[in-house]
């Protein structure tokens, strides 16, 4: 995967830029601590009482799944997630606690598989490393803004989809020239290496100066310090960053792709994939999905769109 601008930050950023970076990071930290202006959305995760309680199915058995059987012997699940995507998958640096819509999906799946969600060991895995993590057995499943597509299906399996996002653009509030991908020629645009939005810009908009990092939070830092002109990825993720610092950042234009989110599983573990499809269907029906959405992603101001139909594709 080609990546540009891999020079360490300290070597690239002039002194004034570093001071600004420090100020911006301080601002984000202050807002994250809940000291923002009145009415700011909570950024440390939802109030615990607003979250649904997922009933653990203690009698659940899935002996045909090697992943489930291994987890059963181990006594807990290891789930791959993101840690820097507000309202989706976010880790509180003080407590180490993960929260967000993807985290709730991971917990409801755990309960359905017979594991108490409190016992999950979350592992942060970047976009470019998801397939390898599943192939190596580093994680049992992955829930982190993970788009289902045919290329990835050659490497991993997907339960779901459980949500539909779309690629969009995040810019500074003082930016008036960027309204969609057609305005990006010659602009510096940042995205995560290995992501579908990165690949789409690379293939469809070759005149863009594309910059790749491991995570979107580094891209946002670069945007706030004037090193790039825009950040591109799913609207879900970008709206989360914009909601944190609405005076500094805005999402512009209409989504220009479809990004159906799936739960990544090891490719050959069809039993696990089907069990997760069943668990999603149950939780969509019993209201847990909606409650989880309202207590997480809904707080970013994004209205709930019903989950797309589950795609129970045949094993190959």
Whether residue 117 contacts residue 51, with contact meaning beta carbons closer than 8 Å, is answered with no
Residues 118-137 that bind ligand GLU (CB under 6 A): 127
- Of the chain, the end-to-end C-alpha distance in Å amounts to 27
145/288 with CB nearer ligand GLU? 145
- Shortest CB 260 distance to ligand GLU, Å: 9
Cis bond upstream, residue 161 (ω within 30): yes
Alpha-helical segments (H) within 33-98 = 66-74
Q: How far is the CB of 307 from ligand GLU (least distance, A)?
A: 15
What residue spans of the chain are helical by DSSP H?
9-12, 15-32, 66-74, 101-112, 130-135, 150-153, 196-204, 216-224, 235-244, 270-285, 288-295
Q: Which stretch binds ligand GLU (CB under 6 A): 4-12, 192-200, 274-282, 307-315?
A: 192-200
- Of 112, 145, 222, 232, the one binding ligand GLU by CB under 6 A: 145
Q: Dihedral sign, CA of 192, 303, 33, 246? A: positive
**Interface with ligand GLU by CB under 6 A: which range of 59-67, 142-150, 292-300, 306-314?**
142-150
What backbone torsions phi and psi does residue 135 show, to the nearest 5 degrees? -65, -35
Whichever of 72 and 302 has its CB closer to ligand GLU, that residue is: 302
Token pair 């499809």: residue: 277
Q: Which residue in 108, 159, 192, 231 binds ligand GLU (CB under 6 A)?
A: 192
**What distance in Å separates the CA atoms of residue 157 and residue 154, rounded to the nearest whole number?**
8
* Shortest distance (Å) from residue 197 CB to ligand GLU: 5
Minimum CB separation from ligand GLU for residue 217, in Å? Answer: 12
Q: What is the 3-state secondary structure (H, E, C) of 149-186?
A: CHHHHCCEEEEEEEEEECEEEEEECCCCCCCCHHHCCC
What's the closest the beta carbon of residue 234 comes to ligand GLU, in angstroms? 5
197 binds ligand GLU (CB under 6 A): yes
User: Site for ligand GLU (CB under 6 A): which residue of 67, 112, 168, 195?
Assistant: 195
Rounded CA gap, 9 and 7, in Å? 6
Closest separation in Å from C-beta 147 to ligand GLU:
4
Nearest distance in Å: CB 232, ligand GLU: 9
C-alpha angle 250/82/24, rounded to 5°? 40
* 146 part of the interface to ligand GLU, by CB under 6 A: yes
Instruction: Give the count of residues interacting with ligand GLU (CB under 6 A).
Output: 12
Supply the minimum distance, in Å, between the C-beta of residue 186 and ligand GLU.
24
Site string for ligand GLU, 258-277 (x = CB under 6 A): -x------------------
Is residue 147 near ligand GLU by the rule CB under 6 A? yes
Q: Residue 223 and residue 244: Cα distance in Å, rounded?
A: 14
Question: Counting contacts by CB under 6 A, is residue 239 touching ligand GLU?
Answer: no
Let me know: does 155 contact 178? Beta carbons within 8 Å.
no
Locus of tokens 């407590």:
95
Alpha carbon distance 279, 296 (integer Å):
20
**Residue whose CB is less far from ligand GLU, 70 or 154:** 154
Binding residues vs ligand GLU (CB under 6 A): 127, 144-147, 192, 195-197, 233-234, 259
């Amino acid at each position: 995967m080609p990546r540009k601008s891999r020079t360490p930050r300290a070597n690239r950023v002039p002194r004034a830029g570093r001071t600004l970076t420090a100020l911006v990071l301080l601002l984000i930290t202050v807002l994250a601590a809940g000291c923002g202006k009145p009415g700011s959305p909570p950024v440390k995760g939802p109030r615990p009482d607003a979250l649904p309680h997922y009933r653990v199915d203690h009698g659940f058995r899935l002996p045909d799944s090697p992943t489930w059987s291994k987890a059963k012997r181990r006594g807990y699940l290891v789930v791959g997630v993101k840690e820097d995507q507000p309202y989706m998958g976010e880790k509180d640096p003080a407590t180490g606690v993960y929260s967000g819509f993807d985290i709730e999906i991971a917990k409801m799946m755990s309960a359905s598989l017979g594991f108490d969600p409190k016992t999950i060991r979350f592992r942060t895995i970047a976009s470019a490393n998801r397939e390898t993590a599943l192939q190596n057995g580093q994680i049992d499943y992955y829930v982190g803004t993970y788009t289902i597509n045919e290329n990835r299906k050659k490497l991993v399996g997907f339960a779901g989809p459980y949500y539909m996002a779309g690629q969009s653009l995040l810019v500074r509030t003082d930016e008036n020239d960027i309204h969609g991908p057609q305005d990006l020629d010659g602009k510096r645009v940042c995205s995560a290496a290995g992501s579908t939005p990165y690949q789409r810009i690379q293939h469809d908009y070759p005149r863009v100066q594309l910059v790749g990092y491991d995570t979107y939070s580094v891209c946002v830092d670069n945007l706030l310090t004037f090193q790039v002109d825009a950040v591109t990825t799913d609207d879900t993720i970008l709206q989360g960053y914009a909601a944190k610092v609405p005076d500094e950042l805005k999402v512009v234009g209409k989504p220009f792709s479809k990004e159906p989110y799936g739960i990544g599983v090891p490719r050959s573990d069809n039993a696990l994939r089907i069990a997760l499809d069943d668990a999603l269907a149950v939780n969509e029906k019993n209201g847990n999905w909606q409650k989880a959405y309202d207590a997480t992603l809904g707080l970013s101001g994004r209205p709930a769109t019903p989950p797309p139909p589950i795609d129970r594709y045949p094993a190959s």
